Structure 1
Amino acid sequence: MSSRILNVGLIGFGLSGRYFHSPFLSTNPGFKIKTVVERTKNEAQEFDPEIGNARSVDELLSDASIDLVFICTPNDTHFGYALDALENGKHVVIEKPFANTEDEARQLFDLAAEKGLILTAYQNRRWDSDYLTIKKLIEDGKLGDVVEYECRYDRFRPVAVAANSWKEQAGSGYGNFYNLGPHLLDQALTLFGDPLTVTADIRTIRPNSEIDDYFDVHLAYADKVVNLKSSLMAYENFQRYMLHGTKGSFVKGGLDPQEENLRKDILPTQKPWGEEPENRWGRIFSDEYTGIVKSEAGDYAPFYQNVYDAIVNGAALAVKPAEIIRTTRVIDLAFQSSSERKVLNY
């Protein structure tokens, strides 16, 4: 086990920087959050008085002691900030969406390879309790061969409730598909690999909305169908997963509890961590067993440890460049499919 400590800089300290990254970085002995970019506020010091403040991205990137940068800013800035960070010799983790297009993603990975730097996407939902539960059921053969997979990630967010958020503004990389789509796509593509075709319906359904707030993406495979949906007008949004296989079916609702606990300032060192309440556990239906399946405990900590091991020990990234490029390619195809009303080959 290496004793090296990586100095970390966060660009942005909103929901992502404050409630997702900082708790895990601060409780992993391999990291030290040295500096946070906040142009006018000092909220990072409220989290930890030892964290330094930078008033600009250039100020942060000019610090030669910073090893790793997390980009936690609005979507239209991800590509530019990542380019600057890599050019300044920093390893980089980018919030989703990793990039707005496949071409941008490839440019970033080409530069990272040229510089010999680690670059990855924050696909934390691979470590959600529900996804880990589904993955285990599939790997253990409890459902047989999956022939139909549906995942929903819904919210009830009328425009008036969230009007001041940048996520409600029209712009490059904005909208619900860029916001929630990468989670659903990454999970499905990690489970099942490259699809044959992509078909999508991405649209605006809320009154006075400036962004896309509904999507229905269909990924076709030779032996299964995958449907990924999200709506910001789903008042009852408990439904999450429905899987049908040759041996049985599995249905599940509710969200992984980590985010809600992190928002309460509960650190991931508190045990037990990531355990879902029983009312969120799924149910399996099969000849072998019909009944409740206790959810696996979710935990985002392995993502951060993997980034550390990749930088310090040369370990393979858990969220690999080829997987990230695949997700951005499907995003491109989904927008094109929705616009042209066509089924597109992957």
Structure 2
Amino acid sequence: MSTPDPSTSDSTPIRTGIIGYGLSGRVFHAPFIAANPRFSLDVVATSHAGRQTVARSQHPTVETVDTPAELVARQLDLVVLASPGHAHLEQGLAALAAGSALVVDKPFAASVAEAEQLITAAEAAGRPLMVFQNRRWDGDFLTVQKLLSEGALGTVHRFESTFERWSPGLRDRWQDTSTSGQGAGITFDLGSHLIDQALHLFGPATITDAELSILRAGGVSDDEAFISLLHSSGTRSHLTISRFAGQNGPRFRVLGDRSAFTSYGLDGQEPALGAGGSPSDPGFGIASEESWGTIGITGSEEFPLTKVPTERGDYAAFYRGAAAAIRDGALPPVDPREALETLRIIEGVHGFSR
């Protein structure tokens, strides 16, 4: 990201609206916008009366409207799409046409073609387009990134990344009722994070294997996926995603020619926010010692297994970067063309899968 020039910085609050107030809008976006003084949370669009009530109770000054069109008509500085992936193209084009900057939650769009249309429209409008890949700021991922930058593992030949949950029943939500052609399924959802992280660490990659499975009765999109990538750097990434896992494997296992690193469990920022926490709370993003990962070689006296303190998680960094992009002319915190490459892999996985 370029260094902003303080003399040209605009201190006017960034008037912001969020389209959608389910888990994404309520937990991953609104708390960070509300906690950052460079933003004001002005409008939330949702047709769900109960969610409108929750939004007003959590953010008393916010206005709620029923439709995205009503929100876009306010000509806000920033529109956040916390809506289903298949709606991102239409809503994003409308927001950009109204002169708003745009934050798009993952999945970026339902297809590469739709994502390319959004990028082209943002460039034509001269407005920042930012894709919300917040898990670049997971504490455990930041720890892996630090170890690699220090050369602590040597040359990495295999990167294993697993994100598993236990959610065996279908629910009345778009993720469970939409198809992969509409941007639904575990690969579009959690796979967006794992693929983005792998590309961010090791660079461009090609798909060498992929398996997608629909496991829940009545399901219409993938519940479980395995993806094998070969990066141009020579590293292989093995990515496993599931919403049907009764027991979880390691979150990360990184194997190098000098040492290895393994960690278990998920970053704590999401559960803290889901329980009503705020990014401004003392200790937010700090992992307990019990959850720290391990570096070393099993049975080695030279490199014995040792706990590694987890870096502090920092989802708020995305919105600090978004403010700098909107007001200071800095580069976006996540380049939309990087997110486009993640979407290319996802689209390729659906064509490759056996």
* TM-score bin, normalised by smaller chain: over 0.9
Q: Are residues 1:282 and 2:309 paired?
A: no
Structure 1 partner of 2:319: 304
TM-score by length of 2: 0.92
Q: Are residues 1:291 and 2:301 paired?
A: no
1:317 maps to which of 332, 339, 346: 332
1:73 maps to which of 83, 86, 91: 83
SS at match of 2:262: strand
1:100 maps to which of 89, 106, 110: 110
State the shift of 1:182 in Å: 0.3
Structure 2 partner of 1:218: 228
SS at match of 1:184: helix
Contact 1:124/1:300, CA 8 A, preserved across alignment: yes
Report the residue type matching 1:277 in the other structure: S
Report the residue type matching 2:293 in the other structure: G
Report the residue type matching 1:120 in the other structure: M
Paired with 1:313 and 1:221, the residues of 2 have a C-alpha distance of 34
Return 5+ residue gaps in structure 2 as ranges: 1-5
Structure 2 partner of 1:256: 267
Q: Percent identity?
A: 35
1:121 maps to which of 114, 131, 139: 131
Structure 1 residues 21-100: aligned runs within 5 Å: 21-41=29-49, 42=52, 43-64=54-75, 66-100=76-110
Contact 2:207/2:345, CA 8 A, preserved across alignment: no
* Range moving further from structure 2, 229-238 or 243-252: 229-238
Structure 2 partner of 1:337: 352
Contact 1:238/1:253, CA 8 A, preserved across alignment: yes
2:155 maps to which of 139, 145, 169: 145
Structure 2 partner of 1:344: none
Paired with 1:128 and 1:197, the residues of 2 have a C-alpha distance of 25
SS at match of 1:133: helix
Paired with 2:111 and 2:88, the residues of 1 have a C-alpha distance of 11
SS at match of 1:219: strand
Q: Are residues 1:11 and 2:11 paired?
A: no
TM-score by length of 1: 0.94
Paired with 2:217 and 2:27, the residues of 1 have a C-alpha distance of 30
Report the residue type matching 1:318 in the other structure: P
Paired with 1:336 and 1:316, the residues of 2 have a C-alpha distance of 33
Contact 1:38/1:55, CA 8 A, preserved across alignment: yes
Paired with 2:32 and 2:84, the residues of 1 have a C-alpha distance of 21
State the shift of 1:197 in Å: 3.8
1:297-332 Cα shifts (integer Å, max 9, x gaps): 101111001011011111011211221111111111
Contact 2:139/2:287, CA 8 A, preserved across alignment: yes
Paired with 1:195 and 1:324, the residues of 2 have a C-alpha distance of 14
Using a 3 Å threshold, how does the CA distance of structure 1 residues 233 and 266 change in structure 2: closer, same or farther?
A: same
Report the residue type matching 2:318 in the other structure: F
Q: Are residues 1:183 and 2:193 paired?
A: yes
Paired with 1:327 and 1:283, the residues of 2 have a C-alpha distance of 29
Contact 1:198/1:333, CA 8 A, preserved across alignment: no
Structure 1 partner of 2:3: none
State the shift of 1:289 in Å: 5.0
What stretches of structure 1 move > 3 A for 4+ residues in a row?
286-289
Contact 2:207/2:227, CA 8 A, preserved across alignment: no
Paired with 2:284 and 2:162, the residues of 1 have a C-alpha distance of 24
1:95-130 Cα shifts (integer Å, max 9, x gaps): 100012111111110110000010011000000011
Paired with 1:40 and 1:334, the residues of 2 have a C-alpha distance of 34
Using a 3 Å threshold, how does the CA distance of structure 1 residues 153 and 106 change in structure 2: closer, same or farther?
A: same
Paired with 2:218 and 2:120, the residues of 1 have a C-alpha distance of 40
State the shift of 1:49 in Å: 1.3
Report the residue type matching 1:270 in the other structure: D
Contact 1:4/1:30, CA 8 A, preserved across alignment: yes
